[in-house]
Chains A and B, each alone.
Chain A
Amino acid sequence: MPINLNATFTQLDNFGHSLKSTCYRIQVAKTEDIHEAFQLAKKLGLTVTARGTGLSYNDASLNGGGITLDMTGMNKILEWDPASGVVRCESGVTLEQLWKRVEPDGWWPPVVSGTMKTTLGGCLAANIHGKNNYRVGPIGEHVLEFTAMLPTGALVTCAPKKNADLFHAMISGLGMLGVFTTVTMKMKHIHSGLISVDAWHVKNLKHQLNSLLEHAPDHDYIVGWLDTTAKGKSLGRGQIHAANNLKEGEDPNAQETMKLSHQHLPDRLFGVMPKKLLHYLMNPFLNNLGVWAINTGKYISALRDHTFRQSHAEYHFLLDYVPDWERSFGRGGLIQYQSFLPKETAEEAWREMLELSHRRGLPSYLGVTKRHRPDKFLLTHAVDGFSLAMDFKVTDKNRARLHALLQEFDRIVLSGGGRFYFAKNSETSAETTRAFLGDEVVAKFKKLKKRCDPNGLLESDLYRRIFK
């Protein structure tokens, strides 16, 4: 029974529910389906974008008026070898599926995002980083091999030394050169289901960045919470969470803590209230005054420096701790502005940005800092320095002012030699993109695109925004 293409018309949105886009959504279950979808798109003159679970903060997986391939059906773990830690998966496999498969055998994904719901295809397209970016690089550095379907119909296999140019361009390439079909990765060996976390407070921005810099070499992971509402001498204060994997023998109950049941994120608060209702309670506090109170309270509670152990899932997947927390930002949703700055210019630039946001009455509601190092991927966002991610609430009233503020931020970041991350920022313009990537990189990417996608079938709203 044929189904009209009209009946696949769908409204999709971004993670922050601040942007909606309509498209034809086609579910794919196998590699041949992707090829057929390309043929259909070519026939109809439509564009194509692959989408996993749609958790980018921006328009990376949106394709207004075109075809969006729903990749979540390609979600099989094809091979897993607990002896070597090598896993081969279809690209729609989520990090949640992956860690739940490998963790009981003593392995953990080498790089994970703040949510476990992302798909490997999306992770590669954005070349995600984790709290250990300064030590192990982005996820692309742990990919042994991937296969991808190009719009030409070719199924290519890429590895660091096989089709190396494509390997380093497709990973980080926003899904604009081809659609990932399978990914082979090496997992990281762990000796316990627990991770040891050191938590300490930092009094200001300088202290925050110095802590990240000095303590990163001693820890496997490091991340900072930044009180975005603090001003004056306390500007940039917050708390550092630095963690180390336990060594063999450090956890006497390793066999027990490695069990999946030990990695469970509780779905109820105090064992009673379902966490999925929490965002309704959070909503009334998501205003400038409420967020100031929350941040201040959090900083006071952070004054007690301490060390503790928690499960890998609890440490890594903070965004999953309160389901649908992003809905607490209300009808207009949220956006995130993440900037990457060299360690020499970061403090001055972020001081200027934080002060500017306060002067404009547009404070960020959440700030997170990380330590980074450069990598070799073509559209890389990394620098030898730090990143600061800032969440902003979007309302009908603040859109124009917030847009103007972020334009100012872009100018400050560019003048500090900074970069941007294509899975996060939603307002970066083509001019800003060209300014930080450089003409040579843009030209190289477009040349590869012409080779892989001569008819220009692969396009997303993000691609049109930053490359056209």
Chain B
Amino acid sequence: MRVARLDALQWGCSFLEDYVSDTFPAGDSPKPFDRTQDRPAPATPLIPRRRGIIVGASAGLGAALARKLSCEGYALALLGRSKDRLESLGNEINASGGYARAYAHDVSEFHKVPYLLRQVVAELGGLDLVVYVAGVNLPPGGIDKYSFENDRKMVEVNLIGAMAWLTPVAEMFQSAKAGQIVGISSVAGDRGRVGNPGYNTSKAGLTTYLEALRNRLTRHGVNVLTVKPGFMMTEMLKAAQGATPFAIPPEKAADDIWEAMKKRKQVVYTASIWRWIMLAIQHTPSFIFRRLTF
């Protein structure tokens, strides 16, 4: 949607029309970004610094990844709903010599993404990595319960929010012929199960979306990594129903993800045992699988 018309057009030249697009959400007045704040120091050949966005960095895996990536030299934009928690995390990272800046953002406000993305890229001084961690798990409360509202919320946050962010990012990285996208999906997306159809659906959709992006972008030199965590010792674990085997701390998952990022892998399970568990589950015949209760 083209809503911003430039004063420059008084020159009678249409050159910039080609470059103006969905920069501002309809109805919002464009505000220049605040360039008075400190930006990360420019990278140099001997002090390289990559720039990354973590969507959903307030707690759990997002926060653990922020700490890990900061240690690995990334300047980070931390996005999430809780500005207080993000600022606390940002202060911690900045105090340890890294660079992180907090941005309050609700991923279900899709229309704000293009402007915020442009702002973050300007303030970070470029973009090399986007990690989409944001996710919710709202189980219906039993295998005979249904909740469209919960399902809708999960699809909005887990899938459409990811698409809202990764669509422009994919476009940018394809153009740049560089960059890395990491999407946090779940083992729950590998098979539809009785416990939480909405969650399974949102994660299966995300897994497929990431695979499609990977198939589009690999030829352009962009790496797309799908992360499939099993159980993690985070707040989301409370939503899990029944046993939670092989649960790992988010720091361990962050280490696994970083190793996979370095190797530019396509898919990684964390903990790694889930690869074999899910292989078995994926190959379980339907006439058996539909009789199971997990």
Which A residues are within 8 Å of any B CB, using their own CB? 2-11, 14, 16, 18-24, 26, 28-29, 32-33, 35-40, 42-47, 58-59, 64-66, 332-333, 335, 394, 399-400, 402-403, 406, 426-427, 456, 461-462, 464-465
> Known contacts being A23-B126, A65-B126, A456-B35, is A44 close to B118, with CB within 8 Å?
yes
- Contact status A6-B172, CB under 8 Å: yes
B176 neighbours in A (Cβ, 8 Å):
9-11, 22
Q: Per DSSP, are chain A's interface residues mostly helix, strand or loop, or mixed?
A: mixed
Contact call B35/A36, Cβ cutoff below 8 A: no
Could you tell me the distance between the alpha carbons of A29 and B14 in the complex, rounded to whole angstroms?
12
Q: Does B272 contact A (CB under 8 A)?
A: no
Report which B residues bind A (CB closer than 8 A). Answer: 2, 4, 6-9, 11, 13, 15-23, 30-35, 39, 41-48, 51, 118-119, 121-128, 168, 171-173, 175-179
B175: chain A residues at CB < 8 Å are: 6-10
Q: Of B8, B47, B51, B121, which one neighbours A39 at CB under 8 angstroms?
A: B8
The complex places the Cα of A456 from the Cα of B32 at a distance, in Å, of 12
Q: Is the CB of B8 within 8 A of A36?
A: yes
Known: A8-B19, A26-B19. A45 touches B45 (CB 8 A): no
Which residue of B is nearest A4, CB measured? B21
User: Do residues A399 and B30 form an inter-chain contact, with CB atoms below 8 A?
Assistant: no
Complex formed: what's the CA distance from A403 to B43 in Å?
Answer: 13
Please give the distance in Å from A396's CB to the nearest CB on chain B. Answer: 9
Q: How far is the CA of A24 from the CA of B121 in the complex (A)?
A: 10
23 example contacts (A-B, Cβ-Cβ < 8 A) are as follows A2-B2, A8-B175, A11-B179, A18-B45, A19-B48, A22-B176, A26-B19, A36-B6, A36-B8, A37-B16, A38-B8, A40-B6, A45-B31, A46-B118, A65-B122, A65-B123, A65-B124, A399-B48, A461-B125, A462-B42, A464-B125, A465-B41, A465-B42
Chain A contacts of B16 at CB under 8 A?
33, 36-37, 39-40
* Contact A44 to B23, CB < 8 A, known contacts A10-B175, A22-B178, A394-B45: yes
Among candidates A2, A16, A42, A427, residue contacting B21 with C-beta atoms closer than 8 Å: A2
Q: Which residues of B contact A10 (CB under 8 A)?
A: 175-176
A64 engages B42 (CB within 8 Å): yes
CB distance from B96 to the nearest CB of A (A): 18
CB neighbours (8 Å) of A400 from chain B are: 46
Closest to A24 in B: B19
Closest 4 CB pairs of A and B: A45-B32, A39-B8, A45-B33, A64-B126
- How many A-B contacts if CB must be within 8 Å? 166
CB-contact partner of A9 in B18, B32, B39, B173, under 8 A? B173
Say yes or no: B8 contacts A4, CB within 8 Å: no
Contact A46 B122 (CB under 8 A): yes
Which of B15, B17, B46, B178 is the most central at the interface, judged by chain A CB atoms within 10 Å of its CB? B46
CA distance A29 to B15 in the complex (A): 9
User: Once the chains bind, are B45 and A43 in contact (CB under 8 Å)?
Assistant: no
**Given A36-B13, A40-B6, residue A65 in contact with residue B172 (CB < 8 A):** no
- Contact with A43, one of B4, B15, B21, B179 (Cβ below 8 angstroms): B4
A273 CB → nearest B CB, Å: 29
Bound Cα distance A32, B14 (Å): 10
Bound complex: CA of A35 vs CA of B127, how far in Å? 26
Hey, which chain B residues are within 8 Å of A58, CB to CB?
44
Asked whether A40 and B20 contact (CB < 8 A) given A33-B13, A333-B45, the answer is yes
Give the distance to chain B from A3, nearest Cβ to Cβ, in Å.
5
Query: A5 contacts B23, CB within 8 Å?
Result: yes
Q: Indicate which residue in B17, B46, B51 contacts A427 across the interface (CB closer than 8 Å).
A: B46
Q: Looking at the assembled complex, report how far the CB atom of A60 sits from the nearest CB atom of chain B, in whole angstroms.
A: 11
Shortest Cβ distance from residue A250 to the other chain B in the assembled complex, whole angstroms: 45
If A9-B173, A35-B8 touch, whether A464 touches B42 (CB-CB below 8 Å) is: yes
Interface centre among A5, A39, A66, A402 (most CB of B within 10 A): A5
Closest to B122 in A: A65
B31 CB to nearest A CB, Å: 8
Contact residue among B18, B31, B39, B45 (Cβ-Cβ distance under 8 Å from A3): B18
Known: A2-B18, A65-B124, A400-B46. 11 other contacts (CB 8 A): A2-B2, A4-B21, A11-B177, A21-B43, A22-B127, A33-B15, A44-B118, A46-B122, A66-B125, A461-B42, A465-B41
Contact of A42 with B42 at beta-carbon distance under 8 Å, contacts A35-B8, A37-B16, A66-B122 already known: no
A22 and B128 within 8 A (CB): yes
- Distance in angstroms from B153 CB to nearest chain A CB is 28
* A22→B126 contact, CB < 8 A: yes
Residues of A within 8 A of B172 (CB): 6-7, 9
Residues of B within 8 A of A18 (CB): 45
